Amino acid sequence: MASAAEVTPTRMLVEASPVADPAPLGLAAFALTTFILSGHNATFIPDLIWVGAALFYGGLVQLLAGMWEFRNRNVFGATAFSTYGGFWMSLGIFVVLATLSKSFSASLEGANLPNALAWFLLAFAIFNTYMLLWATQVSVAVFLVFLTLEATEICLVIGNFDAAHGNANSSWMHLGGWVGIATAAVAWYASAAGVINGMKERHVLPVGAPLTFGNGHAMRHQQHA
């Protein structure tokens, strides 16, 4: 009795097409939004103009950059961009609700508003601390982005806690604004380097070698924030 032969279908491995590096876009979105809000904290840019950028450019666009970094198998860039995209959208919608909703704003009267902002920023400063440590394995430029961002967040945390205790014109807030502008400048440089280096496929603008050496597969030596 003849037995029927089992036919196993041939499997074809199709290599996924490479995608453009989303890091320069994410860095640019982070830099511009940080600059506008920091300019307000430093008292030379009007308030609330940053909210639209926080929701769409620093928020949505940076979140998309984080999602594309997952496609690139870059865990550092994906985590950083996605988190700070969420940061900007969260901060933006918080201000929208505090401005437009009477019931929402009623719960933020007096010291509650700066106190809430201080805890919000402190939580992200904790996240930023360990990302700062792992940024040493990416590049000098990325490390400087996280270092200046850490200083910015700490200044704003102190400034908001200070404001919650009655010092509304805290010098810590102004200092945080100027340090935030430095953060934006470093992030813009890293973004520009990513654009031109990617176009030329060589290092035209230097970003600096990793400060420590980790798993090269897990963390690509590129600029991310």
**Which regions of the chain does DSSP assign to beta strands (E)?**
none
**Alpha-carbon gap, residue 145 to 170, rounded angstroms:** 24
Each residue's pLDDT, cut to its tens digit, for the chain (225 residues) gives 455 555 555 665 555 666 899 999 999 999 999 999 999 999 999 999 999 999 999 999 999 999 999 999 999 999 999 999 999 999 999 999 999 998 898 989 889 999 999 999 999 999 999 999 999 999 999 999 999 999 999 999 999 999 999 887 789 999 999 999 999 999 999 999 999 999 998 889 999 999 875 544 434 444 444
Q: Domain residue spans in the chain?
A: 24-200
The secondary element (H helix, E strand) that includes residue 185 is helix 171-200
Which amino acid does the sequence have at 88?
W
